[in-house]
Structure 1
Amino acid sequence: MKQPADRRDLVERLQKEILSLQGMRTPLDGNPKRFGLGPVESAFPNGIFPTGTVHEFISQEASDAAATSGFMAGLLGKMMQQGGACLWISMQRTLFPPALKMFGVEPDRIIFIDLTNEQDLLWCVEEALKCDALTAVVGELKEVSLTASRRLQLAVEQSRVTGLLHRYNPRRINTLACAARWRVTSIPSELEEGMPGVGFPRWNVELLKVRNGEPGSWQLEWAAGKFQILRMSAEQFKKNLRQVG
């Protein structure tokens, strides 16, 4: 009876080693950081949002780019709860730094680097990802080759820094060596009864590709300093039913 148990242990160890080689490593202290993303986190291996790796975000319209920046800010707020610093590197920054406080990020913990050349931007992102004193690096750029993305992934495998690449209106969506590819779009917010304003930010969050995980689509809201799931798409609901069955 012991042999099957030993075989399961061996398979689990091999799975963890493979995930580790692909950048999906467990935290050094053994305690995974929870982002409050609910079923979105469940789409990743072991049900854990992967840090210490590179995530790719695709935006086609200016409104989508703004929604993506807000969603990334929410992720940064969770990553930087215990302090740390982040580099935000771009060529045409449109972000209003004080707005980061809404997502739990103190603007003075973000170092903004504005460049005029995309090659310089990619080099700067790669060098920043090698710095283990940082918590995260955000790079706003259009084009990234597979070879360049492999260099970025190798950098974070050593430093354990999390990279967020935001590609706004790229010429083509090519294969990259990233843990996940996201698409975030805004959806209408809802006002609380009797309250003025525009409501809390809401997004449709699509996980287009995820290494060793399950792609899906969800609707989220940022309220009271955390992510809240609004509802699943019909496709994701059916998929979850199949998994339960």
Structure 2
Amino acid sequence: MSAARDQVITDLRERISSIQGEGVKKAGCLPFGVDEIDEILPGGGLAYGALHEFAGGGSGTVDGAAAALFAAGIAARTKGPIVWCLTRPDLFFPALAQAGLHPRRVIFVESDKEEDVTASMEEALSFGGLGAVVGEMVRLPMVVSRRLQLVAERTGTMALVVRRWRRQTEANDFGQPTASTTRWRVSVTPSEELPVPGVGRPRWFLELMRSRAGECAEFYVGACDGEGRIHISTEFADGQDQTRRSGYSG
């Protein structure tokens, strides 16, 4: 009886493994095209079929907008329609286009509650065939992030969560554990200097705070251009190295 039971359990495990293997799409990575960043990320880029998390370096709207534009630039370099789920219809379309993401590629899904944003993201990720699914949230509980990660794995679609704070106390939630494959923080720094009077290309301080099976690091970068691409900035206010690695983050 014991041998028969063990055989049944073994058969069930094999069937489950087979089903899981068929359901997970091997999707690869999206390189940034910046060696200093790509060489740190496992696989040489930002993984498709995974959840990635972004937030501003402070509680203000300026850093928060930079985080949204960074996510928009990443979405712009994927292929296919983009679904953007949100509760506040305050996205500035010209800014998205300046970061390479033209509004005609975007399907905006507006909800009243963050729970609806999560449900909309899951449904869009389950659909498949999209370039990326973006969701704006204040909080990202572990259970929610795990669900989004699993759905993204099944379809190979990239999931991007932009954390947006309404008040200072909400920013503390960003330090809580999530199932995100990578976690990024974006802070605005002085724009690049021009040889003539004027405002140069915006510049960000980019922190890779979590990278599953990879390293954390910090970069000074030029903001996304019209194709969604960033570059390592050659100007540094503190005279620091272009890339600072800060250890392993599993």
Which blocks of at least 5 consecutive residues in structure 1 are unaligned?
1-19
Structure 1 runs of 4+ with >6 Å offset: none
Q: In structure 1, what is the Cα distance between the partners aligned to 2:121 and 2:77?
A: 21
1:58 matched to 2:55: yes
Partner Cα separation in structure 2 for residue 47 and residue 24 of structure 1: 18
Alpha-carbon separation, structure 1, partners of 2:77 and 2:119? 27
- The Cα of 1:117 is off from its aligned counterpart by 1.1
The equivalent residue for 1:10 is none
Which of 179, 186, 202 is the equivalent residue of 2:181? 179
Output the CA distance in 2 between the equivalents of 1:236 and 1:220: 9
8 Å CA contact 1:216, 1:236 repeated in 2? no
> What CA deviation, in whole Å up to 9, does each residue of 1:146-175 have, x standing for no partner?
111111111011111101101123352321
Structure with max Cα Rg? 2
Alignment-derived partner of residue 194 in structure 2: 192
Match of 1:75 in 2: 74
Q: Give the aligned partner of residue 96 of structure 1.
A: 92
Amino acid across the alignment from 1:72: A
Aligned length: 212
- In the alignment, the residues of structure 2 paired with residue 238 and residue 70 of structure 1 have an alpha-carbon distance, to the nearest angstrom, of 23
Say yes or no: does 1:48 pair with 2:45.
yes
5+ long unaligned stretches in structure 2? 1-20
Structure 1 150/238 Cα, relative in aligned 2: closer, same or farther at 3 Å?
closer
Matching residue within 21, 24, 36 for 1:39: 36
Tell me how far apart the structure 1 counterparts of residues 132 and 84 of structure 2 sit (CA, whole Å): 9
Cα pair 1:204 1:217 within 8 Å, conserved:
yes
For residues 107-147 of structure 1, the C-alpha deviation after alignment (integer angstroms, 9 at most, x for no partner) is 10001111111111111111111121211011001112111
CA contact (8 A) 2:31 2:44 kept: no
Q: Which moved more, 1:142-151 or 1:187-196?
A: 187-196
Partners of 2:54 and 2:71 within 8 A in 1: no
**2:129 is aligned with 1:133:** yes
Q: What's the secondary structure of 1:193's corresponding residue?
A: coil
Q: So what's the TM-score if we normalise by structure 1?
A: 0.77
- Compute the displacement of 1:224 (Å): 6.5
Distance 2:141 2:129 in 1: 26
Question: Considering only aligned residues, what root-mean-square deviation do their CA atoms show, in Å?
Answer: 2.7
Equivalents in 2 of 1:172, 1:106: separation in Å? 31
Residue 161 (structure 1) aligns with: 157
Identity level (%): 32
Match of 2:218 in 1: 217
